[in-house]
Amino acid sequence: MQYRKATWWPARLMFFLLVLVLASVAVHAELTVYDNQQTLTVATMSYLRQPAQRHNSIGSLVHWPWKNNTASCTFASALDAGQWFTKTDRSLISRSNSTALVIYWTSVGFSGDNRAARPFDAALAGCNTLAQVDAAVKRAASDFAALSLPPVTLLVFPALEHRSVPAWGPGTKTYVSSKASVPDGPPTTDVALLDHQESNKLYTALAGTRRVYSFIYLKEPGSWNKIYLSISFTFFISLLFLVVALTMLYVIARACQVAKIRGLVLDERLAVMAVSLVFSIMLLVFLLSVRDRFATCLLEKVIHLLSTVAFDSVLWYWATHAHRLHPRRSLVAFRSFLLLHTLLESAIICVRIYDLAQSTYQTRNTAAAIVIEYIAPMVPLLYALLFGPFTIWFFKLSHNVVHSCSETHSKYRMLALHTLVAEVIFIFATTEAFMLRFERTTYGGPMTAGAVAAAETMGINMHIVRAVVCLCILGIRWPQNHSIAHEIKPIPHPAYEDTSRHYEANRSIPQILKGLCVLPRSANRSRKEMNRQHRNLPYGPVMHIEHPMDAHRRPEYNDIVPQRVSVHELHKPRNVHVVHSSDHLLYKPESAVIETRSFKTVIACV
């Protein structure tokens, strides 16, 4: 393969063209099989995500049969295999320096003609993984030597199946084994993997009576590794690794700083952060580990489970702290859907773990297959449709907040923002589930290796987004000594004691914190009655609100409240001012009485 030398003299243009060439060149390994009558060249692939050094290999391509009537993944003995070779075959073997074994692999449900390949089919011999075949080759070394076969340096795996997507990609069953007696992962011997189109060509050409051919093999990455071992994909995975690692280091350092200044509060946020640290460390290990092993696949399922529980806990936390802004019915419905999602996803992940541990290449539990193939893709689709209206509704309600302090306004918008993130995650999960569903089926559309890699990347991005959001639940801004606010609890003035008791008796929202007084929610009381009740108050309706103030500064008259006030169903939201007295803090609106027909309004400061 030759590359044209760049003639552009600017250095930056040369670098840009080099990147384009590396991204666009199609790299395929080639296996050329020939004898005195025919020559066939087919494209091959190396093992998934395993770097391959380009080199040539020349020798004899041999069909060695498996042991009959057994499922032990064992090659036939030299005595039984010797009956398959003619004098011409033995003569060709004696002149070779290396041997390549042809090992067919027929997929479950294959309906084509594979009669000529059955004696050499690893699936029919009871093999489950490529690594198990490699172990069988090591065990049969003495039988190979008995027939004067040169050392086996290459294993050729044609895949007989009906699929449009190239074979031997991510999620291939022949890569992973849950049994301790069956090895998994990449074989120690070089492998040449053929997709279904090239496999049919090779099978048709080698379906005659001869068992030995000459071959020339040029080893290169292939279609799958062209993507997974490319510079751009490697850079992208490294970037994701750095994002998670730096976020972990920052939130740990920030938590230590907060603990040093004022101490950490043992609440649900700290528990979510602890779980997030655990699955973030697992995620970093997963990004660096060798894929398509049982341990790595199990680790991915555990990461999915912990990230789902942690992110749903974050949504639950903000839904709990938004009860003063959002209607009760919407929050109850939102929490119910959220709890149901956590239970459904946890159950589906447990089914996936069971399927991973119990299923093999030939056998699979029917109930688990139905859940994974049909029910699992529908869950993110359903919640993508449900969380869309919730996102719009929460943003609409959070907009009805007085814009006098950005800090409190951002707190009220947290539920809407996190719901929006959840909606994006559900869209990614739906796309990934249906793309991989089509890739696994035999009747899927024209999927390509790039589309499958994009779908797999969406799943990784979901875990990355969840990890970053859950890690930052305690906050993002670096804490300073003067920014740590101490909570100053207001002391009710004796003149307003009866009014406060009246508010407490008519309060209808049990989630309001102790010490927080709100306006009555009764809609039957006229404005005239409200004016008569508050006639003797110097500043109109008074709300005693627990509000954190800076310790080094005392509020003064007409100071704007340094937090936003939540106003729901107010016709004309008004700024709220601070009134300082010698023994208490009072908050009042600009006018003496809030002009509104309904006192269902909840005015609170969080």
* Tokens standing for residue 8: 């552009």
pLDDT at 495: 38
Per DSSP, the residues of 444-478 read -----HHHHHHHHHHHHHHHHHHHHHHHGGG-SSP
Of the candidates 1, 52, 361, 33, the residue with the CA atom closest to the CA atom of residue 198: 33
Q: What is the largest CA-CA distance in the chain?
A: 118
Q: How confident is the model at residue 400 (pLDDT cuts 50, 70, 90)?
A: low
Residue 296 has pLDDT above 60, yes or no: yes
The residues near 103 (Cβ < 8 Å, ≥ 6 apart) are 120, 122, 133, 155, 156, 157
- Please state, in angstroms and rounded to a whole number, the distance separating the CA atoms of residues 265 and 286: 31
DSSP-derived letter for residue 121 is: B
Region 433-442 average pLDDT: 68
Q: Could you tell me whether strands 212-218 and 56-62 are parallel, antiparallel, or unpaired per DSSP bridges?
A: antiparallel
What percentage of the chain exceeds 70 in pLDDT?
67
Of 191-205, 352-366, 516-530, 575-589, give the lowest mean pLDDT range: 575-589
Confidence of residue 51 (pLDDT cuts 50, 70, 90): confident
Tell me the C-alpha distance between 287 and 292, whole Å. 12
Which pLDDT does position 442 carry in this prediction?
Answer: 43
The tokens of 514 are what?
């102790």
On the question of pLDDT at 576 being above 70, the answer is no
Residue 303: the pLDDT is 96
Contact 34, 217 (CB under 8 A): no
pLDDT bin (cut points 50, 70, 90) of residue 341 is very high
pLDDT at 561 over 60: no
pLDDT at 252: 95
Write the secondary structure of 340-383 as one string of H (helix), E (strand) and C (coil): HHHHHHHHHHHHHHHHHHHCCCCCCCHHHHHHHHHHCCHHHHHH
Q: How many degrees, rounded to 5, is the angle at CA 251 between CA 249 and CA 252?
A: 65
- Cα–Cα–Cα angle for 335, 339, 344, nearest 5°? 145
Residue pLDDT, tens place only, 454-496 = 888 999 999 999 999 999 998 888 887 754 444 333 434 333 3
Q: What's the count of helices (H) and strands (E) in the chain, helices before strands?
A: 17, 13
Whole-Å CA distances, 467 to 283, 293, 472: 9, 23, 9
Instruction: Say whether pLDDT at 395 is over 90.
Output: no
pLDDT of residue 274: 94
Burial 232-242 (b: 16+ CB within 10 A, else e): eeeeeeeebbe
What confidence category does residue 376 fall into, taking pLDDT thresholds of 50, 70 and 90?
very high
Domain boundaries along the sequence of the chain: 23-226, 241-474, 486-589
63-83, pLDDT tens digit by residue? 999 987 777 899 999 888 888
User: Which has more confidence, 398 or 375?
Assistant: 375
Mean pLDDT taken over the chain: 74
Q: Which residues lie below 8 Å from residue 445, measured CB to CB, with a gap of 6+?
A: 164, 438
Exposure on the CB side of residue 80, measured as CA atoms within 13 A = 11
Buried b or exposed e, range 140-174, using 16+ CB within 10 angstroms: beebbeebebbebebbbbbbbbebbbbbbbbebbb
Instruction: Read off the pLDDT of each residue in 85-108 and give the average, rounded to a whole number.
Output: 87
Helix (H) or strand (E) holding 437, with range, is: helix 406-440
Q: What is the CATH architecture assignment of 23-226? A: 3-Layer(bba) Sandwich (3.50)
Confidence of residue 451 (pLDDT cuts 50, 70, 90): confident
Confidence of residue 277 (pLDDT cuts 50, 70, 90): very high
Query: In this structure, how many other beta carbons lie within 10 angstroms of the beta carbon of residue 210?
Result: 15
User: Using CA atoms, how far apart are residues 367 and 404, in angstroms rounded to an integer?
Assistant: 57
What is the reported pTM? 0.72
Residue 524 has pLDDT above 50, yes or no: no
- Give me the pLDDT at residue 134, please: 94
150-171 mean pLDDT: 85
CA–CA distance, 574 with 589 (Å, rounded to integer): 6
Q: Residue 574: is its pLDDT beyond 60? A: no
- The yes-or-no verdict on residue 304 having pLDDT over 90 is yes
Coil, helix or strand at residue 66: strand
